[in-house]
């Protein structure tokens, strides 16, 4: 029996989407769906939810929960990762509140920036533990990473973990539909090309019947900018740099030095930037789960329609050899020629029985590559810090972050990092 292992299976809603998709896929019937999580209650919730879904759907997949991670992984052909190390309390709170003391405000803080750096530092050691188990008990498995910070963690698993890894993110899938729906442009028959880095990939071209749609996109976007809306940051980046990027405006605002600035507080209102957005979402999700739990976990008539998540489509393409195209996060083996080779990039990939096959992009427009490199700098220094366990590289990563550097002095950055290191305590390994 082939095996799909889901690490972080206590994310019950996401497990329903991803593993429910597998259960709804004819080619994946008979697979064992192995569930693992360190939270026994959430693990049990997800097991019960999937058993109900199995009954109601008639799937022949086997659902099995494990309390031993290595046994959950043993013999797996595919591994899906959706963990969050440290959770909302205490780690997310720490990532927001300490920088706030220094005057550094954030929106999501899960990719780059000071929050992204420390999320990486507490997650990388856990991921490398996964990698050691995978090399021992399922060395040929394909590791599909959904955990943020996507670029760094996918890079680490490939470069230092010795595990065949692809990073999967929703932002490429929803980029064009979101943009066209907001602008009121018909979406049928489009051809689009997206590439860059995770959360800062670029809609490089979008055409219909060979006609470039960018002039009309920019015309309509300029009209939209006359009134407040929730995508103002991305439209501003498109107007100034020429191209639309994949991740939402609340994310994008903190990837650049232009939007969240103490000396220009009017920018927050002008660009509709939701400060402290991620903690707010966490609180809402925790409250919502208490209401959803009974309906989802103990509903014997639970139903599921296959979602747009990539995982089941990737597995189906490999198992059937019927090609499928994804936007994947992979190592830059010369794929984007004006970004560093040691970076993780997000490019179109073909999937079939041969696995994940990234496509060659060539040079990005120079201004886009330059923007990407500002984030890659922090990503690579964060990896250096995690691998060497040297504090100086944590400081370097933070000092090179565009938003952090635009707001704080070098001394304040070092002091803030030291305070964050101390506050994380057991969530971080020892740095020297």
Summarize pLDDT for 310-354 with one digit per residue, the tens: 999 999 999 999 999 999 999 999 999 999 999 999 999 999 999
Select which of 170, 251, 256, 432 is catalytic.
Answer: 170
Dump the DSSP string for 219-256: HHHHHHTTS--TTHHHHHHHHHHSS-BSS-HHHHTTSS
- Domains of the chain with bracketed CATH: 3-89+106-167 (3.40.50.720), 90-105+170-275+309-432 (3.90.1820.10)
Number of helices and strands in the chain (H, E):
17, 12
- Using alpha carbons only, give the angle 240, 405, 364 rounded to the nearest 5 degrees: 40
Given a cut of 90, whether residue 290 has pLDDT beyond it is no
What is the per-residue pLDDT across 99-137, written as a single tens digit (0 to 9) for each? 999 999 999 999 999 999 999 999 999 999 999 999 999
Q: How far apart are CA 101 and CA 356, in angstroms?
A: 44
How far, CA to CA in Å, does 78 sit from each of 51, 148, 314, 391? 20, 19, 10, 35
Residues contacting residue 147 through CB under 8 Å, at least 6 positions apart:
8, 81, 82, 83, 84, 123, 127, 153
How confident is residue 1, by pLDDT bands cut at 50, 70 and 90?
confident
> CB within 8 A of 285, min separation 6: which ones?
none
pLDDT at 348: 98
CA atoms within 13 A on the CB side of 250: 15
Per-residue pLDDT, 291: 85
Nearest to 126 by CA among 156, 106, 170, 150: 156
Report the alpha-carbon distance of residue 168 to residue 82 in Å, rounded: 10
170 labelled catalytic = yes
For 160, which DSSP code? T
Contact present, 233 and 249 (Cβ < 8 Å): yes
| Bridge partners, 193 (sequence order) | 205
Residue in the structure block whose two tokens are 């650049």: 256
Question: Which structure tokens are listed for 399?
Answer: 């000092």
What residue spans of 24-112 are helical by DSSP H?
40-57, 69-73, 93-101
- Whole-prediction pTM value? 0.98
Paired tokens of 320: 């059937």
Give me the helices (H) in 58-201, please. Answer: 69-73, 93-101, 113-137, 150-159, 171-183
Task: Work out the average pLDDT over 241-267.
Answer: 98
CA-wise closest residue to 192 among 183, 201, 149? 201
Residue owning tokens 């972080």? 8
Q: What mean pLDDT is predicted for residues 382-405?
A: 98
């Amino acid at each position: 029996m082939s095996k799909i292992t889901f690490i972080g299976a206590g994310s019950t809603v996401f497990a329903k989407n991803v593993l429910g998709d597998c259960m709804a896929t004819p080619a994946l019937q008979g697979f064992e769906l192995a569930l693992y999580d360190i939270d026994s209650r959430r693990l049990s919730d997800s097991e019960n939810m999937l058993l109900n879904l199995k009954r109601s759907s008639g799937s022949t997949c086997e659902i099995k929960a494990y309390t031993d991670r290595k046994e959950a992984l043993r013999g797996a052909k595919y591994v899906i990762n959706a963990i969050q190390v440290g959770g909302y309390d205490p780690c997310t709170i720490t990532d927001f509140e300490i920088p706030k003391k220094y005057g550094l405000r954030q929106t999501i803080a899960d990719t780059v920036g000071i929050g992204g750096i420390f999320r990486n530092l507490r997650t990388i050691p856990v991921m490398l533990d996964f990698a050691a188990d995978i090399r021992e008990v399922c060395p040929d498995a394909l590791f599909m990473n959904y955990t943020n910070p996507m670029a760094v963690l996918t890079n680490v698993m490939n470069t230092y973990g010795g595990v065949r890894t692809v990073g999967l993110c929703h932002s490429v899938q929803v980029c064009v539909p979101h943009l066209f729906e907001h602008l009121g442009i018909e979406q049928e028959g489009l051809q689009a090309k997206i590439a860059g880095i995770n959360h800062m990939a670029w809609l490089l071209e979008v055409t219909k019947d060979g006609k470039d749609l960018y002039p009309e996109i920019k015309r309509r976007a300029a009209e939209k900018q006359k009134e407040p809306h929730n995508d103002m940051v991305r439209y501003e980046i498109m107007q100034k740099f020429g191209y639309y990027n994949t991740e939402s405006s609340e994310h994008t605002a903190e990837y650049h030095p232009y939007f969240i600035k103490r000396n220009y507080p009017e920018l927050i209102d002008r660009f509709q930037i939701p400060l402290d957005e991620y903690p707010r979402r966490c609180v809402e999700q925790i409250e919502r789960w208490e209401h959803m739990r009974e309906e989802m976990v103990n509903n014997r008539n639970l139903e599921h329609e296959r979602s747009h998540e990539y995982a089941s489509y990737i597995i189906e393409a490999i198992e059937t050899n019927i090609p499928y195209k994804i936007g994947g996060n992979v190592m830059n083996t010369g794929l984007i020629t004006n970004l560093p080779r040691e970076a993780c990039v997000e490019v179109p990939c073909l999937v079939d029985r041969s696995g994940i096959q990234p496509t060659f992009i060539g040079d990005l427009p120079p201004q886009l590559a330059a923007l990407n490199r500002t984030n890659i700098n922090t990503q690579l220094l964060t990896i250096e810090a995690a691998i060497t366990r040297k504090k100086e590289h944590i400081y370097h990563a933070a000092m090179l972050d565009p938003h952090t550097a635009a707001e704080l002095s070098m001394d304040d950055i070092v002091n803030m990092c030291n305070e964050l290191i101390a506050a994380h305590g057991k969530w971080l390994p020892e740095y020297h």
